[in-house]
Structure 1
């Protein structure tokens, strides 16, 4: 089968790889039919910070091809969201709705990176999903695979970042510190879908500020993350992937408020500890936990309460993936193709 493979900084191409087979009775084989590019994927291709070669991709909707003997709920032909993480669905962490920290696999076990073993990537023509019945999330019949592809990671993670606050108070003041190509904007989109009335967005990129404004946020262009931002906010979301962006989010949180960081740092960023200590900020971070929360996001898409289409680039054809990833357009590229 073909596998989209990172070979080094700025080098990604299709390579041949052995097609996976079911190994355990709980395995499910899935054929990705719509694969999305996460903001992290851009970094993994551009910088190749992990030891290459490695398979790419951890956001996709797929079609079930084969199920193990112990699988009863899923059948060939079903469309499913493939969570970015690999999880058993039964361990203590999975039982606490934290499958991204599953205790049955090595830490950071996910598709599309070599961390926590190699599990392949969600651009692969065929993917083995261990414990598939407890991990995969069925896609409602009326939901287009292209719109649902980001539910493997970014879109559900954006929902998790803001829904605990907005479900209790739609008027809560939310500040999103942007900087990544799409995650901050997806968070704006989710805030508005959940009825948020006070959604603020800051970014150093003028185009992102324009898009955030079009999505309904009060958006401000800043020169640097050191620039003072008026007011304190009930909830701040760090979507900058920059240590100073994280600092800006933390010190912009009101006393007793919550700061959620979804940035991925490969080294420890400095924290303004005394400032957040003095104001009692709750700091939340951690890997995505997709399986328990994707059904609600899919329901929002199905009801047309949430529509990620304004932030989708494409769809492009899978054959174009290496070229598109080397010079990605604005928005979240999604790839499709005839894989039947």
Structure 2
């Protein structure tokens, strides 16, 4: 079978790889149908994030089930499913508590498509077949009528966005929300967060960014665009999100969090960032940062899609697997790559 390898910034190639096989009665084999670039993928491909290759690329996608083990009860061949990017058994203590990104049965950070960072044994989604070790625990059925291309990021970036606003709007319905985006950060997570906040019935949802294209998408999602570099403070919001990847953006989100509010950082910082701890303490701010537990959030994401949230507004390009090398040499935004199902 073919598998796409990322060699380094702007460099990729297809490689012949052995087809995976079922190694346990709980496993499944799936064929990726729609695979999205994660914001981290774009950072690696453009040289902003140092993740050395070569490694099999791709960890966000919707797939067709091809084969299942004897003990799998929730999926059958030809089913369409979302495959969370993190490996989880569904039975250990962390998994049972919803902390599926820290499954105790596997080394920390075990994921598809992130090279040494996630463990090379899992491969990537930009391939003809992918093995899923715990099908019942990991696979989530794609609801009827939902376009796989629209929710290709339901493996990672969509859950990552949901956890920045969903739990906090459940505690404070109708609260105002600020999302800080930025050129140094992600294309999609901040936009997804803004659109989800609108869909969840937040009061005022402000999306701050310097990029005119992202600001247009934010407005299409129902958010109020705020153009310009992050100021020290953009107001007072009970819920704030840093999706900027910029220390000034992070500090803006923190300073803009209202007393007793919650600030969630979805950005990945590779160096220490100074934070105004006294101001955070004085206002009773709750600050959250860390990896998303993707599998636990996927059902909530799909529920939002079912009531009208449209993640496809964030997608900037849809191309075939055959054109992947050219499309990903200098990627921008959110690219979704597709291939036909075996059952087609």
Coarse TM-score class (shorter-chain normalised): over 0.9
More displaced 10-residue stretch of structure 1: 15-24 or 52-61: 15-24
Q: Matches of 2:147 and 2:219 in 1, distance apart?
A: 26
TM-score, structure 2 length as denominator? 0.92
Q: How many correspondences in the alignment?
A: 336
Cα-to-partner distance string for 1:190-237 (whole Å, 9 max, x where unaligned): 1111112210111122222232223222221123x3x23342210110
Cα-to-partner distance string for 1:248-277 (whole Å, 9 max, x where unaligned): 211211121101111122344333322212
2:59 match = 58
Do structure 1's residue 204 and structure 2's residue 207 form an aligned pair? Answer: no
Does the 8 A contact of 1:28 with 1:133 survive in 2? Answer: no
Does the 8 A contact of 2:30 with 2:132 survive in 1? Answer: yes
Shift of 1:309: 2.0
Q: Matches of 2:336 and 2:8 in 1, distance apart?
A: 22
Three-state SS of the structure 2 residue aligned to 1:155 is helix
Does the 8 A contact of 1:34 with 1:146 survive in 2? Answer: yes
Q: Matches of 1:197 and 1:128 in 2, distance apart?
A: 43
Give the ranges of 4+ consecutive aligned residues of structure 1 lying more than 6 Å apart after TM superposition: none
Correspondence for 1:188 among 173, 191, 194? 194
Do structure 1's residue 37 and structure 2's residue 40 form an aligned pair? Answer: no
Q: Matches of 1:61 and 1:151 in 2, distance apart?
A: 8
Do structure 1's residue 152 and structure 2's residue 152 form an aligned pair? Answer: no
TM-score, structure 1 length as denominator? 0.93
Do structure 1's residue 143 and structure 2's residue 146 form an aligned pair? Answer: yes
Shift of 1:329: 4.4
2:248 match = 244
2:91 match = 90
Cα-to-partner distance string for 1:76-125 (whole Å, 9 max, x where unaligned): 11111000111111111111111011111111111111224111111121
Q: Matches of 1:306 and 1:175 in 2, distance apart?
A: 18
Does the 8 A contact of 2:233 with 2:255 survive in 1? Answer: no
Extract unaligned runs of 5+ from structure 1. Answer: none
1:216 match = 222
Does the 8 A contact of 1:176 with 1:187 survive in 2? Answer: yes
Shift of 1:313: 2.7
